Amino acid sequence: MSGLSVPSNVPGLSIPFNVSGLTTPATVWLNADPPTAQPTGAVALRTTPGWLERFNAWSSLFNFVKGLGVIFGWWPDSQQEKPKTRPHYTPGETPDDVPIYTKVNFWIGNDGPHPFDPTKPPMINAGGDAPDVHLFGDGGNHIGSRYRPGFCPSGSIHCYAGVDTEGYASYVLLSGNMNPTCIALMTVEIPGVERKFGFALGNWAAPCEKISGRKNPWYYANQDLPLKSAVNDVSKCVWIGRGKDNQKPKYLSGMQLRMREFRSNEAPIRKMDYYCRNYPVLNFRTETYPHVVQKWAIDPLLAGTKAPTGPFLDPQWATETEDMEESETLVTEGLPTVTAMGTFGDAAVKERNRNRYARLARRWISSPDLVEQIAMDPSVYKSHKPGHLASELCDRNAGAMGHSFVSYAEKMFCYMPTKTLYKFCEDIDEGACWSEDDNKVIVKASGAGMMTLSAADIPDLRHAHSSMNIVWK
């Protein structure tokens, strides 16, 4: 009985008899072989039927002939290695080499005071569908995509989308799905590169809208972003999704960026205009579904083909250099050339996605859009952070979109549906003002009597409840 092993009731676990003192659930093994069970009665001998003997004999002969065939090569070996193919690609479309796995991760904004505190419910609208991820090489050639990565809850910092690629990614194109998501940070892990690439979407969307003149729907994220920066206390997120045609304001349907432009060892730190006005570098998209990448006609980096090596830095927080003349241009053509992605993916997978997409679309058409959902939400966001400004959110020239907001630093309340700003009642003598005790806008009258205000001056916050407020400290 030496060396005999008997499995315990733990799946996949075998324990030898000669292990002393080892206990598994409902099993105790001693330092001795178990006793052999003795028969307690007569055992009837059973004979093997003749047909079973003949079947076993033919089976043995068949296996013997098959073994000879495999040895001499005239019988196919079922154990031989199958050709390596990439997921969602058919054989023949891609090389047989092992694919490069690029991992993209999203941080979702607008969580509560602590992402792991169950007593403080997070903003239910911030989470949504992660965008589709499309990766391109330096020449604008498509090297991989990931469709419908999944749902990302609000406050999540682990929302991954893995992409099997045929090379090293330079351009990243995000295409929004139906349920918009407020994304604060995107990280990209490139094979062979020790350090991740990090890009704060919202912190670029806000300043770029002032330069480009196009509104970007951003909001405060309340996430501590792991970026090397001198100013990291005012993190923002940007809404990416596929909005309805009649929706105002519209979401961003996607975003494109070229990672190499943001690496200090390959690209110089330039003025913000360079990043926000050049579409190949950074481009917040608004078309129905972004499916093309805009690349340089003449590459200002004169890029090679070797793999990137890091580190990756966010130049927004760096000191802008003045070594470029205002008249200097790096593009000789009016618009960058466009490279289409084409059609990718297995036909059956695409058909299932289309059917699922159609079902979601029917529900989506009849449901309220994001702005309406937020307006009906009983939460009011409040913040003690100095960088969280109600006046910034209520700027009608800005694209900020989200919950109504109280700034204790400014002592102001922003009613987001109409972008109307109210002071705290303690700071004015009369008029419409924010009452912290009542958790709503009230009318404060002077000693001379009641004031005459229209209904538009008093926002309807009857649905708001103080127990649902989210306070950032």
Q: What is the pLDDT of residues 150-164, one digit of tens each?
A: 888 877 888 888 898
429 vs 339, residue with greater confidence: 429
Which stretches of 172-292 are DSSP H helices? 201-212, 272-277
The single-letter code of the amino acid at 280 is P
| DSSP helix/strand/coil, 426 | helix
Residues in CB range of 37: below 8 A, 6 or more apart: none
Cβ 293 vs Cβ 279: under 8 Å:
no
Which stretches of 184-335 are DSSP H helices? 201-212, 272-277
- The H or E element that residue 353 is part of is helix 347-366
364 vs 208, residue with greater confidence: 208
**For position 228, what pLDDT does the model report?**
60
In angstroms, what CA-CA distances link 428 with 431, 435, 444? 7, 11, 8
**For position 172, what pLDDT does the model report?**
95
Nearest to 27 by CA among 17, 37, 35: 17
**For position 415, what pLDDT does the model report?**
92
Stretch 440-449: mean pLDDT: 74
132 vs 304, residue with greater confidence: 132
Q: What is the 3-state secondary structure (H, E, C) of 22-37?
A: CEECCEECCCCCCCCC
Out of 15-29, 33-47, 248-262, 454-468, least confident range: 15-29
- The H or E element that residue 423 is part of is strand 420-423
| DSSP helix/strand/coil, 143 | strand
Residue labelled with tokens 């005071």: 113
pLDDT at 206 over 70: yes
pLDDT at 258 over 90: yes
Look up residue 387 and give its two tokens. 């960088």
pLDDT at 211 over 80: yes
Which band of pLDDT confidence, cut at 50, 70 and 90, is reported for residue 133? very high
d(CA 66, CA 74): 9
Look up residue 275 and give its two tokens. 């990043």
* φ, ψ for residue 3, nearest 5 deg: 85, -5
Q: What is the pLDDT of residues 178-192, one digit of tens each?
A: 888 889 999 998 877
Stretch 16-32: mean pLDDT: 31
**For position 394, what pLDDT does the model report?**
94
| DSSP helix/strand/coil, 391 | helix
Top-ranked range on mean pLDDT: pick from 6-20, 256-270, 415-429? 415-429
| DSSP helix/strand/coil, 90 | coil
Neighbours of 2 (CB within 10 A): 7
Nearest to 222 by CA among 65, 143, 115: 115
Residue labelled with tokens 């690496």: 263
33 vs 319, residue with greater confidence: 33
pLDDT at 343 over 90: no
Residue labelled with tokens 């350090």: 195
| DSSP helix/strand/coil, 175 | strand
pLDDT at 254 over 90: yes
Look up residue 372 and give its two tokens. 């309406």
In angstroms, what CA-CA distances link 331 with 27, 138, 302, 307? 76, 16, 12, 25
Q: What is the pLDDT of residues 76-89, one digit of tens each?
A: 554 443 333 333 33
Stretch 260-287: mean pLDDT: 84
Euclidean distance between the first and final Cα of the chain, in Å?
68
**For position 294, what pLDDT does the model report?**
87
Top-ranked range on mean pLDDT: pick from 16-25, 229-238, 361-370, 440-449? 440-449
**For position 54, what pLDDT does the model report?**
80
In angstroms, what CA-CA distances link 326 with 47, 56, 266, 295? 100, 89, 22, 22
> Per DSSP, what are the bridge partners of residue 183?
108, 238
Which band of pLDDT confidence, cut at 50, 70 and 90, is reported for residue 359? very low
Residue labelled with tokens 């690029």: 102
d(CA 249, CA 234): 23
414 vs 77, residue with greater confidence: 414
**For position 185, what pLDDT does the model report?**
92
Q: Report percent pLDDT > 90 for the chain.
A: 18
**For position 93, what pLDDT does the model report?**
34
d(CA 268, CA 300): 11
Respond yes or no on whether the N-terminal peptide bond of residue 83 is cis (omega within 30° of 0).
no
Out of 217-226, 243-252, 418-427, least confident range: 243-252
d(CA 465, CA 439): 8
pTM: 0.64
Query: Strand locations in 212-301, DSSP E?
Result: 218-220, 236-240, 254-258, 282-285, 292-294
pLDDT at 256 over 60: yes
357 vs 217, residue with greater confidence: 217
Q: What is the mean pLDDT of the chain?
A: 68
DSSP tag of 407: E
Q: What is the pLDDT of residues 278-289, one digit of tens each?
A: 889 999 998 888
pLDDT at 41 over 50: no
d(CA 18, CA 36): 16
Q: What is the pLDDT of residues 303-332, one digit of tens each?
A: 443 433 333 333 333 222 233 333 232 232
Stretch 260-268: mean pLDDT: 76
Cβ 144 vs Cβ 165: under 8 Å:
yes
pLDDT at 106 over 70: yes
Look up residue 416 and give its two tokens. 């987001």
